[in-house]
Amino acid sequence: MNVQNNADLNSSTKVAADWWRGGVIYQIYPRSFQDSNGDGIGDLRGITQRLGYIASLGVDAIWISPFFKSPMKDFGYDVSDYRDVDPMFGTMADFKILLDQAHALGLKVMIDLVLSHTSDQHPWFVESRANRDNPKSDWFVWADPKPDGTPPNNWLSIFGGSAWQWDSRRMQYYLHNFLSSQPDLNFHCREVQDALLDVARFWLDLGVDGFRLDTINFYFHDAQLRDNPALPLDQRNASIAPMVNPYNHQNHLYSKSQPENIAFLERLRALTDAYEGRACLGEVGDAQRGLEIMGEYTTGDKRMHMCYAFEFLESRAITAGHAKQVFDQLEAKAGDAWPCWAFSNHDVQRHASRWGLSDLSVRQHAVLMMCLRGSACLYQGEELGLSEAEVPFERLQDPYGIEFWPEFKGRDGCRTPMVWATQDEQSGFSSGDPWLPVSKKQAELAVDRQESNDQSILHHYRRAIAFRHAHPALMSGTQTDMAEENGVLRFIREDGREQIFCAFNLGSEPAALTLPAGNWQMIGQELQAVAENEMGNVTLEAAQFCLARRTGG
């Protein structure tokens, strides 16, 4: 009897430790989620006020975009103090209350660690730039100019122009893969690695359940500073940067994704594993090798728990053929890698607009994400079916959009305030003037209006998430027999106890479908009713899907 009890306890503990495997993570962009004090900017107390709503979705965790002290040149992704909360968002006491209340509701809390670079106002950089022989002189990437005074190589910034900024104090250039006010840390310096691991330890000790790691493949640069080669025109795509950005003209072989990064990721994983039930989610920013790098970074149990690449965040809509190609590539490069999928986030146009989805297609894509092998990230407002907001040029805040307007409008359209109440001032986000305008079109889909309609997209997301959690095969099972036929993507998820057959018509025309041989029972009717005839044949209209289950072998 005691042996059985111990076995049950061990199994329960393992499930708790592996909550991230197949888990659903809800991303919060704090500036735009809920304002609690009327200054027009969302804050930690606002998030705490809405934790009950988030828990009602059935998600496993929240990921909070940066709330650390920052001059906000890139809205928190330029950190000036890794160990404190920016007053704009509240205090450390506010964060501890948020953490405790989230845990009381059964929600894990992941925070967004930006380790590849700091703000130029961070004390580390202030000291580093003072002269060439101070204790932190090599904590950032410094290089002498070429004899003609130009930058040391041809590397480009994602935000446009050279990735090198001249500094008159040291008479050298420093590297910045993003804004010039975001200098890159030098990971070849062991002291830098140790300092950043201490930052992670600080938050783990505080009780956070893991980290979303910004631009995880940007940590290391080529120590020889070799030029990046040109990228052929037919290989360029806009998954990482818009096509109007010269960043797409290079194959970034040397400015990121260096092999030395693996050892640091293993150090970070070892630290995380010293705390029970914690997880690391890495963002892989690479337009050519994203899946390969995802595989490298998550294979085995000594690197990252999971990563996401940009294959499903790009402008190309998900077709059956494209989805199969993504999974075939992932299987070929790293079959045991654990991916995390996202269709929208704070950096890309909302997928309802990006892919031109109808209401039915939005619902279908929600179920598709819940059925794919891997974990899942939902971006705030996605569960409402929100489309991209229109932000006029004079209201733009994003330096990226301002730089490349009008061909690229930046990221403000996906960052406008969350809509809570259709008729309330600023849709319930704030009692003051919000930092970005509230979308009137989005307000029509506010939470209060959808809560009162059982057939709304919001309730559909709740049912889709519950469906995922109800089936172990969908959470952590294998994925086999993926095929594409007549616009239909089909595959089987299996965990030994059950098999789930999944088919999604991602095309524009009706398609006939025959279920695999065997005793299958149609399921998921609460998500969408699909009729099956006596021979196991189904006709899927555009944006329809079919789910069936069988148990045993």
Nearest to 340 by CA among 303, 301, 314, 369: 369
Place of tokens 């960043």: 247
- Separation CA 145–CA 153 (nearest Å): 9
Catalytic residue among 86, 120, 209, 214: 214
Helix axes 290-298, 320-334, angle to 10 degrees: 40
Cα torsion 552, 502, 344, 259 to 10°: value is: 60
Nearest to 343 by CA among 311, 307, 388, 297: 311
What are the angstrom distances between the C-alpha of 96 and each of 87, 110, 202? 15, 13, 13
Number of helical (H) and strand (E) elements in the chain, helices listed first: 16, 20
Phi-psi region of 258 (alpha: psi -120 to 50; beta: other; left: phi over 0): beta
Catalytic residue among 35, 94, 283, 484: 283
- Separation CA 484–CA 416 (nearest Å): 37
Cα torsion 440, 315, 116, 193 to 10°: value is: 120
Question: Whole-angstrom distance between the N-terminal and C-terminal Cα of the chain?
Answer: 29
Paired sense of beta strands 545-551 and 498-505, if any: antiparallel
Q: Which residues contact 37 (CB under 8 A, 6 or more apart)?
A: 43, 45
Catalytic residue list contains 133: no
Tokens of 71: 């001059």
What are the angstrom distances between the C-alpha of 402 and each of 51, 420, 430, 483? 34, 28, 25, 42
Tokens of 121: 């106002």
- Separation CA 84–CA 106 (nearest Å): 25
- Separation CA 15–CA 6 (nearest Å): 14
What are the angstrom distances between the C-alpha of 45 and each of 27, 66, 91, 437, 443? 16, 15, 9, 21, 22
Write the DSSP string, 43-66.
-HHHHHHTHHHHHHHT-SEEEEPP
Catalytic residue list contains 214: yes
- Separation CA 311–CA 469 (nearest Å): 25
Largest CA distance in the chain: 80
- Separation CA 418–CA 29 (nearest Å): 9
Place of tokens 């991230």: 20
Q: Is there a contact between 510 and 539 (Cβ–Cβ < 8 Å)?
A: yes
Tokens of 28: 């919060």
Q: Which residues contact 133 (CB under 8 A, 6 or more apart)?
A: none
Q: Which residues are catalytic?
A: 214, 283
